[in-house]
Amino acid sequence: MPLKEYKGTSPGRRDAIGQDFSDITKGKPEKSLLAPLSKKGGRNNKGRITVRHRGGGHKRRYRIVDFNRSKSGTATVVAIEYDPNRTARIALIRYEDGTKSYIVAPHEIMVGQKISNGDVGPVQSGNAMSLSIMPTGTLVHNIEINPGKGGQLVKSAGTVAQVMAHESGYTLVRLPSGEMRRIISRCVATVGQVSNLDYKNQKLGKAGRNRHRGYRPTVRGSAMSPSAHPHGGGEGRSGIGMPGPKTPWGKPALGHRTRKNRSTDKFILRRR
């Protein structure tokens, strides 16, 4: 995805770097693969804010993406589309029986290209198959953690993992974070890198574009009063102070480990 710069007609445009969307081949989404998506505003089922700084934003509709790739057979790529709910592009594919579905688009996938699901196809970009039959060194994305549950790892723009080894029913995979993790070899993954590599190089240019995405302003704790935040108070621009950074509720922040599910530690060979 190439990027484009804008003429400095305003302060918000001057430093903005955006997408040129030249890789998009279809404007309107497939109606049969749409679902309603209501606003949550960062609130839970009791109406209480559980995620701060959320709300507003442009109205969206959810694209039903097939992360399982369980339908065996060959499909043809019909279009590459924009998805407002994820950083990557999505590809509309049509199977030989006429069924259509969305998948996370791999990098450099082309309209008209044939892709396959199952362990019978070649190891080429866009094909989904079990990790067990992938050669060492294969680049993959949309990786399952539990067989049949659907891809959960490596789905955001430009990310890619690599198959490192096969041993005793497990496949050693190096994730984008650098973590080395054992995954059951029966789990399915898609060959290739996720599309939209230049997503990380965008510059929004102004706060309004972040509001369009549904993000509200964030106030620094050091700018608050001591009654509102542990970092607040003091004369002038004061530091955080001892005993280190805290959340507004006094919990340790900025580097404090919060991982609670330790049951899968046995599958991690090297931490990120």
Residue 75: give its domain's CATH number: 2.40.50.140
Strand arrangement of the beta sheet that strand 268-270 belongs to: 100-104, 90-95, 73-81, 114-117, 128-130, 188-191, 139-141, 161-167, 170-174, 180-184, 268-270
Q: For 61-65, 124-128, 264-268, which range has the lowest pLDDT when averaged over its residues?
A: 264-268
Instruction: Tell me what the mean pLDDT of segment 94-109 comes to.
Output: 96
Report how many domains make up the chain.
1
Query: Is 257 a domain residue?
Result: no
209 in Cβ contact with 191 (< 8 Å): no
User: What pLDDT sits at residue 1?
Assistant: 64
Alpha carbon distance 128, 262 (integer Å) = 29
User: What pLDDT sits at residue 262?
Assistant: 84
Give phi and psi for 157, each to the nearest 5.
-55, 130
Print the domain residue range for 28.
Answer: 19-200+263-270
- Grade residue 201 by pLDDT with cuts at 50, 70 and 90: very high
The sign of the torsion formed by the CA atoms of 243, 248, 253, 257 equals positive
Instruction: Tell me what the mean pLDDT of segment 130-156 comes to.
Output: 96
Assigned token pair, 36 = 């309603």
User: What pLDDT sits at residue 264?
Assistant: 87
Burial of 145 (0-12, 13-18, 19+ CB in 10 A): middle
Tens digit of each residue's pLDDT (9 = 90 or more) over 239-259 = 888 789 999 999 999 989 888
Query: Is 11 a domain residue?
Result: no
Query: Is 110 a domain residue?
Result: yes
To the nearest whole number, what is the mean pLDDT of the chain? 94
More confident residue, 144 or 2: 144
Query: Is 81 a domain residue?
Result: yes
User: What pLDDT sits at residue 241?
Assistant: 84
Query: Is 213 a domain residue?
Result: no
Query: Is 151 a domain residue?
Result: yes
Tens digit of each residue's pLDDT (9 = 90 or more) over 156-194 = 999 999 999 999 999 999 999 999 999 999 999 999 999
Query: Is 55 a domain residue?
Result: yes
